A and B are shown apart, each in its own frame.
Chain A
Amino acid sequence: MTIKEIINKYGNKRENLLQILHDIQNQSLQNYISEENVKTLSEKMKIPVSDIKGTASFYTMYSFVPRGKYLIRVCESPPCYLLGAQTIFKAIENKLGIKEGETTKDGLFTLEGTSCLGICGVAPAMMINDEAYGNLNEKKINEILEQIQEKERK
């Protein structure tokens, strides 16, 4: 969808800004909102670029820099911490060679830490894009990541 179509879907009132930003980011293959898109949005919604950026940068789910096609968000909150969230970061680092905040060279994965995902029942947990994964350990993480790599190779 074009920016215009997304705006039309919700209406160009300010209170729809977050939904519109979600949609723009979701349809980008790099999980981000581009400079160009912000400018178009600014013109169409009559909100200054600085204001859009100021608002969006407040929320952790939006990004203005390109991220991996698969965004890995590992929960860092106390319930996951108690059950070994640090080992999850280590396992992903070992597997993909990226640290928190970095993206793999092939542009496939970005690793981020996140606050509670609300799936504490299966801690330690993470989300990859919209998909949640729980009861993680190194073996399981390798399997999950290899599955995605396999899918992308095809």
Chain B
Amino acid sequence: MRGWVKPHRIMLLLVALGLVLWAALSLRWDWIPRYWQLGVEGIWRTLWLMALSVLIGFTLAVPLGLAQAAGPRLLAAPARWFCTIIRGTPLLLQIWLIYFGLGSLFPQYPWIRASELWPYLRQAWPYALMALSLSYAGYEGEVMRGAFKSVPHGQLEAARAYGLSRWAVLRRIWLPQALARALPTLGGETILQLKATPLVATITVIEIYAVAGRVRQDTFIIYEPLLLLAVIYMAIAGIITLGFRWLERRYTPGLG
């Protein structure tokens, strides 16, 4: 807190406060009472899409990274291709390919409509979740590959010398250390995932960006919804950063 009491910081904070007050008083905010419920729904959808896609994506990323770090050619090559393709194409294209590409196949196979999955295939969020999860898995697969490779090989050899099975080495030595090394990067990558969620608004998922879009279309106001949207995203990003810093302090003490 000491750092905040310097004179130049106080002056900058006052300027920022002045800007916020000016914005609150002179810009148009009369649309908020009408749309705040939709906004809360949108924020909730953003949060669970991000959290769930991070979880699913990470669960996929660990085997992907492991396959590339230690697997036989048969497993490592497809894993590497998957990560290369995901990281080499824009997420927007992947989302559209999964939603509209799969959708264009439905009329050719009429039995899909009668199946039990149809209520889910009709909605947009499963496709959004799938695209976001695959994207996260692709990027994190690469991160986990580096993390697995960076654990000192001597530790693994020592564990094997002690007679631990390969699975036990993975479970007790390799994976925990790889996770600890990857944790700082994962925080940044989760924020990148947060920044990727607005793209699903283009396939009719109503998350907070889509709500801001609806406000802009209904009221023709150009800037105010976007500014509030930016503030909301910054707040969520701040919370995520604080969360990951807490995780790092708890789980990676003693690691440089």
Are these two chains actual partners, yes or no?
no
